[in-house]
Structure 1
C-alpha cells in the first residue's frame, strides 16, 4: 500500500471517528430520548436533526464515505476494510479524553491487538 493510499484511508478513518464523537456530543446535548407516540418520535427526530454536533458529525460521515470510495479504487477491500478498525482505537482514546469513558485493561489489550492487525495487513 502506498503512502498516498494509506493517507486516504487514515483521513477517512479520522473523519469517521470524529463523526462518532460529534454524534456522541450531540446525543449528550439531547439527553435521554423517550420514544413513545408518533409525535414524540417526530420531536426527537427534529431535535436530533437540528442539533449542531449531530449535523457536523453527519457531514464528517459524508466526506469520510467519499474518501473511502477513493481508497477502494486503489486497494483491495480485503486490505482496506480491516483498516477501519483503527477508528475504534482513535474513538476509544478520544472518548476517554473528552468524555471520561473508561479505558480498562481489556480495552487497552484489544486496542493493542487491533493495532498489530492493522500493521500486519498494511504490510501484506
Structure 2
C-alpha cells in the first residue's frame, strides 16, 4: 500500500468536502438564488469570502487528485471520493446543525463498507 498516495487522496477528498461546506456557509450568508437570476449575481456570489475559499479548496483538491490518479487506477481511486458524502453529512450535522437521522447514518455506513471492500479487494495494482 502506497501510504503517501493514500494520504494525498484523503486530503484531496477532505478539501473537496470542505469546499462544499464553505459553499453552503457562503450561500447561507448570501441568501437564496434561483436559476433565473444566478447569472446576474454570479460575480458577487463567487467573491463571497466563504464561497471564494470553497473554490480555493476545490482547486487545491483537484491538483492533488491529479497526483492520485497518476498513480492509481481510476476504478480504484474514484470510489474513495464517496468519503466526501460522509464528510458532508458530518459537516452539516455538527457545524450547520442539520438533521441527523437513521437514513444518513445507515447510508454513511454503507458508503464506508463499500469503500473498505473496494480498498481491500478491489485494488489490482
CA RMSD of aligned residues (A): 1.5
Which residue of the partner structure matches residue 82 of structure 1?
Answer: 79
The answer as to 2:86 corresponding to 1:60 is: no
Mind listing any 5+ residue stretches in structure 2 that lack a counterpart?
none
Q: TM-score, normalised by structure 2?
A: 0.90
The answer as to 2:2 corresponding to 1:5 is: no
Which residue of the partner structure matches residue 99 of structure 2?
Answer: 102
Partners of 2:73 and 2:39 in 1: CA distance:
41
Structure 1 pair 79–36 and aligned structure 2 pair: CA distance change class (3 A)? closer
SS in 1 for 2:20: helix
Structure 1 pair 48–123 and aligned structure 2 pair: CA distance change class (3 A)? same
Partners of 1:33 and 1:41 in 2: CA distance:
10
Number of corresponding residues: 121
Q: TM-score, normalised by structure 1?
A: 0.91
Which residue of the partner structure matches residue 43 of structure 2?
Answer: 46
Mind listing any 5+ residue stretches in structure 1 that lack a counterpart?
none
Which residue of the partner structure matches residue 22 of structure 1?
Answer: 22
How far does the alpha carbon of each residue in 1:10-49 deviate from its partner, in whole angstroms, 9 at most, with x for none? Answer: 0000000100000001100111125656xx742x212202
1:31-42 residue pairs with structure 2 within 5 A?
Answer: 31-34=31-34, 36=36, 41-42=39-40
